[in-house]
Structures are given as structure tokens and as C-alpha cells.
């Protein structure tokens, strides 16, 4: 397979080139005399990696028995080539069933976006900042619980969101990090000092920045203030321009720089399905004008996929390099897969997204397929 005459985003910048794909990998980027798929006038970038996604296109990753094929195929068509299947707050048995099902689906190697890990967003979060989570399912963390869940995941558990003010948080963070798990602070009312102690224990990330967290105050900057001002912390950003105003997204990028922002969708089962009412775990969610609301009228998850966030930022004038880092390279680093994907280079997997001149996704390749 050869992609011809595209505007290819490489680590060195954008260049007009061909991409040669053999056995699922990129083998060459440059001029060739080969025939292939003509990409003249189109932009070729790495496929997107979503590290915070609960499902999409009718597929729910927290399900105890669901097959993911349909959702993963649809996500790939929208440019997402890797997903970290995110589990919402369930009771512990429900979480274990969801983990077992994700492991089963991972081993079955379904077509579409690749399952690259599990993100456990609940149950180790604050009851005061539950967001759309069921507070009855929230429990304090412990090293033992984390080790048990990691072992059950057969190494697929890659990210845990945790509120650092909870009893046992510091020891739990240390235990998670020792297993190679990225710890993300979130759904939290922690103050600045508590967040700093969590960082010192190994936490490196903030979950959906500005959402479900104590607001920033000039005399109490809190966990949000710590994440934005410490250069070593990474911040998730939901770039649908609904969860965050464009100015809030700009603030995150100004505070963190392009290497420390990870775009996430936080998408739910209803993402990509259009307006309507949907039932998730017995609860009605209403999707209207791109917003998902619970029965109290509060935002309850996202309806968008990363291609829309990429388009939003590019239309606002963000550079292609900055946007690609946020949607591809930085999340790949968080998942520990950046040695094989996240950039377009010879030797890496052919996880590729082709954009039209209006920044819409027109073609995706996952491992060259």
C-alpha cells in the first residue's frame, strides 16, 4: 500500500510525500515512483488515541458482556485508531465483570480501533464531585484493591482516576505507579498541598480539566491550580467546546504547552448516534444539539469523538503539530505505546488519518488496514 502525494505530518514537520505501508507498518516516507492511493491536497496525520472514552456508536465499554466490534469500527472511521476503554463507577463486582469483558474483547482482536488499555475512572473518587457517576458505587482506594484489579486486567489497566483527598490515596497511588499504571487526579475537591503530595507519590495527570473538580480560586487554587501550574503535570481536555469554552481550552494550552495536553472525548454509548433519548444503566440520558444531559439537566458525558475536537482546534488556528500531539502522541505516551504509534515514522504502525481540506476525516488506516 502506498499513499501518494499527501501533505504528511512527520516529527520534523509537514512535507509533501508518499507513505509506503508493508505488513501493518510504515516502511518509508518520501518520494517514490510507485502507484497508490492519490492523497493530493489532503493532510495525513497519525490516527487518534482516546484515553478517556466510555463507548460510542451504541457500544458501552462498561458492559459485562457486550461485543465491541461495531463501535470500534465506527470509531476507526472517525479517525480514532486506539482506545483506552474507560469504566465508569460501578460496584466492585460490576467493575470486575467489565474488566473481564474488555480483556475478552482485546484477545479477540476485533476490527476497528485497537483496544490499548483500560481506564478506571471510578470508583475511587469524591462523593462531592461525582459528576454523572452513581455515588452509591464510590469506595475508598487501597493498594490491595488496585493490585487485584490490575491482575484481573492481565496488565491492560493503564490509567486510574483517583481523588487524592481520600483515605489511602497516597499508598494507593504508589501501588498503582509500581505496576506501571498512570494515575490521574480527578473528581476531586483536594487542595493544592494534597494534590502536590499526590504528585510526589506518582500521580502525573488531571482528568477532564475544569470538569468535576473544585473550581480554581485565587486564595485556594486547589488540585486544578496545581495541575495547571506544575509543568510536570499533564491535563486532559474535552475539546467539544461544550464541556469547555474555547477560552478555557486556550488557557489549558497556554498553561501546559503542547507536550502536556491530552485531548479526550469522554464519549458515552450515545456518541455518534444523534439526538434522542438513551437509557444507560437504567438511567435516561437526553442528547440534544450535541449535549448529553441527565434528568436534572446536567451534562452527563460527551457526545463527540476526537475527530470533532481536532476539527474544532484546527478551525481555531491551532497548529497541526500541536493538535496532533494532543490527539495522538501525548495519549500514546500515557498508554506506553508511543514507541509503536502516535507519530508517522518509518518502523511505526500504520495508524493513519487522512483529512480533507475542511479538516474532516475522509479515510483511516489501523495497522495499514
> pTM (2 decimals)?
0.96
Q: Which residues pair with 119 in a beta bridge?
A: 86, 159
DSSP letter (8 states) at residue 137: G
What pLDDT is attached to residue 281?
64
**114-120 and 157-162 beta bridge pairing:** parallel
DSSP letter (8 states) at residue 215: P
Cβ atoms of 87 and 120 within 8 Å: the answer is: yes
User: What is the sign of the dihedral through the CA atoms of 363, 330, 243 and 98?
Assistant: positive
Q: Where are the domains of the chain?
A: 48-339
**CATH code that applies to domain 48-339:** 3.20.20.140
Cell of 129: 464531585
Cβ atoms of 272 and 56 within 8 Å: the answer is: yes
Digits of tens for pLDDT over the chain (369 positions)? 999 999 999 999 999 999 999 999 999 999 998 999 999 999 999 999 999 999 999 899 999 999 999 999 999 999 999 999 999 999 999 999 999 999 999 999 999 999 999 999 989 999 999 988 889 999 999 999 999 999 999 999 999 999 999 999 999 999 999 999 999 999 999 999 999 999 999 999 999 999 999 999 999 999 999 999 999 999 999 999 999 999 999 999 999 999 999 999 999 888 988 888 887 667 788 888 888 887 777 777 788 999 999 999 999 999 999 999 999 999 999 999 999 999 999 999 999 999 999 999 999 999 999
Q: Is residue 276 within a helix (H) or strand (E), and if so which, with residue range?
A: strand 276-280
Residues in the chain, overall count: 369
Report how far residue 316's alpha carbon sits from residue 310's, in angstroms, rounded to the nearest whole number. 10
Catalytic residue numbers read 266
* Nearest residue to 202 (alpha-carbon basis) of 179, 219, 217, 183: 183
Other Cβ atoms less than 10 A from the Cβ of 256: the count is 24
What pLDDT is attached to residue 296?
77
Q: Region of 216 please: left (phi>0), alpha (psi -120 to 50) or beta.
A: beta
What pLDDT is attached to residue 285?
81
Cβ atoms of 173 and 124 within 8 Å: the answer is: no
Alpha-carbon separation of residue 58 from 61, 189, 269, 294 (angstroms) = 10, 33, 5, 17
What pLDDT is attached to residue 50?
99
* Nearest residue to 80 (alpha-carbon basis) of 107, 48, 55: 48
Amino acid at each position: 500500500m502506498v499513499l501518494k502525494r499527501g501533505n504528511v505530518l512527520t516529527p520534523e514537520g509537514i512535507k509533501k510525500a508518499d507513505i509506503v505501508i508493508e505488513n501493518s507498518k510504515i516502511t518509508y516516507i518520501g518520494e517514490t515512483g510507485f502507484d497508490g492511493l492519490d492523497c493530493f491536497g489532503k493532510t495525513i496525520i497519525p490516527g487518534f488515541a482516546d484515553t478517556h472514552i466510555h463507548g460510542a456508536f451504541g457500544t458501552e465499554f462498561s458492559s459485562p458482556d457486550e461485543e465491541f466490534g461495531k463501535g470500534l469500527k465506527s470509531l476507526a472511521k472517525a479517525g480514532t485508531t486506539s482506545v483506552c476503554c474507560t469504566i465508569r463507577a460501578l460496584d466492585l463486582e460490576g467493575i470486575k465483570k467489565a474488566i473481564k469483558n474488555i480483556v475478552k474483547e482485546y484477545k479477540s482482536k476485533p476490527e476497528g480501533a485497537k483496544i490499548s488499555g483500560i481506564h478506571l475512572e471510578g470508583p475511587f473518587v469524591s462523593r462531592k464531585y461525582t459528576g454523572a457517576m452513581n455515588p452509591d458505587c464510590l469506595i475508598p482506594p487501597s493498594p490491595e484493591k488496585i493490585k487485584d484489579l490490575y491482575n484481573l486486567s492481565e496488565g491492560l489497566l493503564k490509567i486510574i482516576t483517583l481523588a487524592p483527598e481520600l483515605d489511602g490515596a497516597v499508598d494507593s497511588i504508589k501501588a498503582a505507579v509500581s505496576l506501571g499504571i498512570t494515575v490521574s487526579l480527578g473528581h476531586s475537591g483536594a487542595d493544592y498541598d494534597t494534590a502536590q503530595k499526590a504528585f510526589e507519590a506518582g500521580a502525573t495527570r488531571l482528568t477532564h480539566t475544569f470538569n468535576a473538580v473544585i473550581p480554581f480560586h485565587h486564595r485556594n487554587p486547589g488540585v486544578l491550580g496545581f495541575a495547571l501550574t506544575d509543568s510536570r503535570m499533564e491535563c486532559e481536555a474535552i475539546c467539544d467546546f461544550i464541556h469547555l469554552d474555547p477560552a478555557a481550552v486556550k488557557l489549558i494550552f497556554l498553561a501546559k504547552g503542547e507536550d502536556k495536553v491530552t485531548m479526550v472525548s469522554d464519549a458515552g454509548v450515545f456518541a455518534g448516534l444523534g439526538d434522542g433519548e438513551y437509557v444507560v444503566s437504567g438511567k435516561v440520558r437526553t442528547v440534544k444539539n450535541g449535549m448529553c444531559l441527565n434528568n436534572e439537566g446536567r451534562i452527563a458525558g460527551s457526545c463527540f469523538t476526537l475527530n470533532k475536537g481536532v476539527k474544532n482546534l484546527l478551525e481555531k488556528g491551532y497548529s497541526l503539530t500541536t493538535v496532533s500531539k494532543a490527539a495522538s502522541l501525548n495519549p500514546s505516551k500515557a498508554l506506553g505505546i508511543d514507541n509503536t504509534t502516535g507519530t508517522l515514522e518509518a518502523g511505526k504502525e500504520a495508524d493513519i488519518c487522512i483529512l480533507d481540506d475542511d479538516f474532516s476525516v475522509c479515510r483511516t488506516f489501523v495497522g495499514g488496514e
